[in-house]
Amino acid sequence: MATDQRAKADTLSLRQRLLSSSCRLFFPEDPVKIVRGQGQYLYDEQGGEYIDCINNVAHVGHCHPLVVQAAHEQNQVLNTNSRYLHDNIVDYAQRLSETLPEKLCVFYFLNSGSEANDLALRLARQYTGHQDVVVLDHAYHGHLSSLIDISPYKFRYLDGQKEWVHVAPLPDTYRGPYREDHPNPAVAYANEVKRVVSNAQEKGRKIAAFFMESLPSVGGQIIPPAGYFSQVAEHIHRAGGVFVADEIQVGFGRVGKHFWAFQLQGEDFVPDIVTMGKSIGNGHPIACVATTQAVSRAFEATGVEYFNTFGGSPVSCAVGLAVLDVLEKEQLQAHATCVGSFLMELLRQQKAKHPIIGDVRGVGLFIGVDLVQDEATRMPATQEADYVITRLKENYILLSADGPGRNILKFKPPMCFSLDNAQLVVTKLDAILTDMEEKVRSCETLRLQPCSVKHPPGSTGPGCRAAAGSRPS
């Protein structure tokens, strides 16, 4: 049982003493202490209510009563490993199979998206007999050694690129080499993958897998052009590799129109492996790998057991089933379409009003607002994004910025995020951007005078520049 609630400063100082500083806090200069969650809201120790625009793990809403109840009922009865027969694991696998193309019919249960991607890597290697992996630039696939290796978002800052890893450009039609004016960006970006594969093969390397998030998230809320996946899969299959669709952040109805984000690419496209995590347990540690019989059989042929202590436990599967039930009962997929479209529309209105918004892109409740220094160059407005996030937090709105330039405002809220929430968040965003623009203007007028404290970083006046430098980005 937890002790009586500590003063926030006490919690912070204990955390600084006992936890590694590698485990970072949001808003490190003024972190938030959260003590309660409900639906799309989080509450701090003083009762302050925050709108949560970022927690894609609390998929059907923080502390959803049906999910909590399902966990509790099963926790009271049985929670053991999957070496005994139990209904929950087969019921859950069956329910998941109903959401997927028929070919993806073998399931493995695990505890985290990272564990799922690591198993996907093992499956791909065993099936193909190859070792190498093609990934997209800026991708992040998990915190494990094997996944740091295939995550340019991480390895660029650590050990660097391994010889068995090959990086293709993000299919980013806003800032990448092939843009909205290109006649066929899907083919052009897929040809980049083909080129990367060919280069690798020329060095005698053999491709086991292509990994990508169905919608690249830390890469900057990218919506790949339709047709890209099929083209890429063709190149990868020809090289003897498999296509791994990482749906950990983006699956489970978030995109609204479809249950899985890879389905945005058309009915004819089916990945060889799909990995799931985060949202599927609404906060309970659950993950899953779905694959084909062919891939699974190659793994089974080694004769070596795969055992995951907690994976597929009766409690994990009861929670997973409850999340599926709530998604259905509350029609959250249709809700994501509706609220997402509304939010996109509001954000596009903001784009027309504020030149700092270079692009608004998204689908369902997966939306990115790309802040730029200049519409022509599309240079990321990194410091401005950080400033906006901080100001939103002061307005009790939790949002984050990501992408290679850390300039893309990332919307990925719990699926119960409402029309009213969308309206309020955009109203606040509008006010902050308007205020920021005014301050920049006044600062430019005053020129050599330093600006007031809460001014936007990265502004052009010299006073602004100095103050901007004082905010670590």
Residues in 317-336 at the binding interface with a copy of itself, rule: CB under 8 A: 318, 321-322, 325
Instruction: Answer yes or no whether residue 304 interacts with a copy of itself by CB under 8 A.
Output: yes
Residue 88 Ramachandran class (φ > 0 left, ψ -120 to 50 alpha, else beta): alpha
Instruction: Answer yes or no whether residue 161 interacts with a copy of itself by CB under 8 A.
Output: no
Instruction: Answer yes or no whether residue 48 interacts with a copy of itself by CB under 8 A.
Output: no
> Residue 9 in 3-state DSSP?
helix
Q: Please report, as residue ranges, which positions from 126 to 145 form the binding site for a copy of itself (by CB under 8 A).
A: 143-145
Determine the Cα angle at 428 with ends 426 and 433, to 5°: 90
Q: Min. distance of Cβ 158 from a copy of itself in angstroms?
A: 6
Residue 446 Ramachandran class (φ > 0 left, ψ -120 to 50 alpha, else beta): alpha
Instruction: Answer yes or no whether residue 106 interacts with a copy of itself by CB under 8 A.
Output: yes
Comparison of 285 and 450: residue with beta carbon closer to a copy of itself: 285
Exactly one of 70, 276, 389, 451 binds a copy of itself (CB under 8 A); that residue is 70
Instruction: Answer yes or no whether residue 2 interacts with a copy of itself by CB under 8 A.
Output: yes
Comparison of 301 and 419: residue with beta carbon closer to a copy of itself: 301
Question: What Rg do the C-alpha atoms of the chain give, in angstroms?
Answer: 23
Angstrom distance (rounded) from CA 189 to CA 252 = 26
Of 158, 384, 120, 113, give the one whose Cα is nearest residue 250.
Answer: 113
Q: Please report, as residue ranges, which positions from 109 to 128 form the binding site for a copy of itself (by CB under 8 A).
A: 111-115, 118-119, 121-122
Exactly one of 107, 127, 174, 260 binds a copy of itself (CB under 8 A); that residue is 107
Q: Please report, as residue ranges, which positions from 264 to 303 form the binding site for a copy of itself (by CB under 8 A).
A: 277-278, 283-285, 296, 299-300, 302-303
Q: Min. distance of Cβ 440 from a copy of itself in angstroms?
A: 30
Comparison of 155 and 269: residue with beta carbon closer to a copy of itself: 155
Tokens read off for 269:
């496209």
Other beta carbons within 10 angstroms of residue 154's beta carbon come to 18
- How many of the chain's residues bind a copy of itself (CB under 8 A)? 105
Comparison of 171 and 271: residue with beta carbon closer to a copy of itself: 271
Angstrom distance (rounded) from CA 48 to CA 100 = 41
Beta carbons of 73 and 97 less than 8 angstroms apart: no
Beta carbons of 40 and 416 less than 8 angstroms apart: yes
Q: Min. distance of Cβ 41 from a copy of itself in angstroms?
A: 11
Beta carbons of 244 and 78 less than 8 angstroms apart: no
Q: Min. distance of Cβ 104 from a copy of itself in angstroms?
A: 11
Exactly one of 198, 199, 309, 427 binds a copy of itself (CB under 8 A); that residue is 309
Instruction: Answer yes or no whether residue 93 interacts with a copy of itself by CB under 8 A.
Output: yes
Tokens read off for 155:
């390895």
Sign, CA torsion 297/303/306/312: positive
